[in-house]
Chains A and B, each alone.
Chain A
Amino acid sequence: MKLIVAIVRPEQLSDVLEALFHAEVRGLTISRVQGHGGEMEQVENYRGTTVKMALAEKVRLEIGVSNHFVQPTVDAILGAARTGEVGDGKIMVLPIERIYRIRTGEQDQDAVTPVPMHPDS
């Protein structure tokens, strides 16, 4: 089991989510974050004040996956988040000590195995 943390450009998020859904990655969390990755800084002007925006808007994805899902997940993000310019972001793969699914109390491998879609839905 691994935790995949990816920092991507907000404008690539739709593409990344689409790629992840195609790779059948179902469970993920995103958050809007600000960061700096060595990219060009935007210069903005407000009346007489000029500022350099040292922090750029980014999106962080957190995805807990079982081992055989690690590579497909990473590949999906790499393919969809890349623009080729500095500031495309990072993907980090972290070990996980334990995972619980809150609804059932299942642990580890079971907790990150998607349940089959409800037949009615």
Chain B
Amino acid sequence: MNTSDIAWMLISTALVLLMTPALALFYGGMVRSKNALNTMMMSFVALGPVAVAWALAGYSLAFGGGGRFAGALQYVGLRGVGLEAHGTIPHLLFMAYQGTFAVITAALISGAVVERLRFGSYLTFIVLWTLGVYAPVAHWVWGGGFLAGDGALDFAGGAVVHVNAAAAALVAALVVGPRRDYGRHAMLPHSVPLTLLGTGLLWFGWFGFNAGSALGANPTAALAFVNTFLAPAATLATWTLLDLTRGGRVTAIGAATAIVVGLVVITPAAGYVGPGAALAMGALGAIPSYLALILRARTRLDDSLDVVAAHGTGGAAGALLTGVFADPAWSGGPSGMIAGHGAQLGIQAYSVLIVLAYSGVATFVILKAIAAVMPLRIGSRVEGVGMDVTEHGEEAYTTGDGAILVTPAEAAPGRRSSPVVASSGGAL
């Protein structure tokens, strides 16, 4: 084992963990204020059940050796996952690092179904999805499964994380259906500054996501790190030009989106391409997502926070461009089309389609199974009132005017079963 590698991976794990609260800010700012807490909780809560499910079973299904399609059960309950070396770092640390990926991938899906998916149904969904979709797909690419065997390149999770989450988001948006007000009323972001703050923290955390995927403090980590700096910069520059050309004004939400798209695009390529290619990928990757955003708004698909346009389109573009730009002169590893291995592009397309298809179908099955047991959506009236009060019994922004203290004796019976109680008829 190598202490420098251990130090860098400890930091990287914390950096990737921070991305989930960052995503909560990013998403939370984009919804209406009456749903701010619910939306942020959809990200935050993944830090609990998903991380537990990962430790208990997910890690084994992804990295427990085993066959082409899923890991074996040897690491269930973290049995046999100790401080022994896994590469140059402790096995347990590797498990935790990968766990932070499982958490943010599940949280990403929430953007497509905010402001109407019941919180209980969502919790059930992300746990089942992590075990049934994320873990096997991670196994295919990183755990010795069939996509790795076929030569698919995915440095830090273009297919495993982004295409995977976006396919689930697309299907979830279709199954759950659009928000009551979608296409009828304008629904504006309630706090663009929150979204910008979230974007900044996402970028910061993404250095752990991409450079940490080198699994050590080595030159490949430095390459991935610099590419994580350059690609979103190029995407932001391109996006700015597109915004200027199209509307004459550069938007803040646009800038936030551009940075995330750039980060997504470079994710599968981070340790495989040179800095020039990273700039090119960031610039090229802006275009399909920019168009996808414009097109999506004209459809009945209420992918509320554009998970598909940012992570699906961006992730697919990144995966394909990795097959074009992968450069052994920089990475000492695999070659892409420009370096003379044209077939890599085909392998990349194949890996994206496989992940898309499996994630889409499995998400559909999981959601339908949940719907058979409990309602997926909140009621239409509740949608009007907002989910912070109805699902969580809290408000994001309250002055506290008119709040009457309820003593424990009054509050005790039946409080949990009904979040709303009848007025006692007291004069006011």
Contacts and interface: CB of A to CB of B under 8 A. Distances in A.
Interface residues of B, number: 28
A105 B401 CA distance: 40
Contact of B415 (A34, A49, A50): A50
A40 interface: yes
A52 B381 CA distance: 20
A38 B98 CA distance: 53
A38 B395 contact: no
A53 interface: yes
A43 B394 contact: no
Given A49-B405, A51-B404, A55-B402, A41 B393 contact: no
A41 B423 contact: yes
A34 B421 contact: no
B406 A50 contact: yes
Interface stretch (A7-15, A71-79, A93-101): A7-15
Contact of B394 (A9, A39, A46): A46
A51 B406 contact: yes
A50 B184 CA distance: 36
B295 interface: no
A36 to B, nearest CB: 5
Nearest to B423: A41
Nearest to B422: A40
B385 A11 contact: yes
A30 interface: no
B246 interface: no
Interface residues of A, number: 24
Given A12-B384, A14-B185, A40 B423 contact: yes
A44 interface: yes
Given A9-B384, A43-B406, A44-B394, A52 B428 contact: no
B406 A52 contact: yes
A34 B401 contact: yes
Contacts of B219: none
A14 B384 CA distance: 11
A52 B34 CA distance: 18
Interface of A: 9, 11-12, 14, 34, 36, 38-46, 49-55, 83, 85
30 contacts: A11-B384, A11-B385, A11-B386, A12-B384, A14-B181, A14-B184, A14-B186, A34-B401, A36-B402, A40-B421, A40-B422, A40-B423, A41-B421, A41-B423, A42-B420, A43-B393, A43-B415, A43-B419, A43-B421, A44-B389, A44-B394, A45-B394, A50-B405, A50-B415, A51-B403, A51-B405, A52-B406, A55-B401, A83-B381, A83-B384
Interface of B: 34, 181, 184-186, 381, 384-386, 389, 393-395, 401-406, 408, 411, 415, 419-423, 428
